[in-house]
Amino acid sequence: MFLKNNGFTDEEIDAILNKYDSDTIDTLLLNQDNVDEVITYLKDYGIKNIPKLMLERIDIFYFPVSSIKKLFSQYEKDSVINALDHNSAIFDEML
């Protein structure tokens, strides 16, 4: 799976595969290029636990990177990093 190329461990990939239904996994695979871009952006931004974020909020990875950049630009960077690393539900409040 392409997530391995993004630094996800086998255990993290298995957890994602076991958590989500086949339609969600199919959507993830069909949107692989966008998901890769989002993962790269989040890493570059400073988000540390991307596999955990994907387990909690896979929908974030379907957003266009430009939308995520615009959203994040409205907040102080360290606050975004801290919030998403500790509580992915904050993403709903950011929207």
53-88 pLDDT per residue, tens? 999 899 999 999 999 999 999 988 998 888 887 777
The number of beta carbons lying within 10 Å of the beta carbon of residue 80 is: 20
- Structure tokens given for 34: 């966008």
Of 2, 88, 83, 79, the C-alpha closest to 52 is 88
**Does the pLDDT value for residue 16 go beyond 90?**
yes
**pTM of the predicted model, to two decimals?**
0.88
What is the distance, to the nearest Å, from the Cα of residue 34 to the centroid of all Cα atoms in its chain? 11
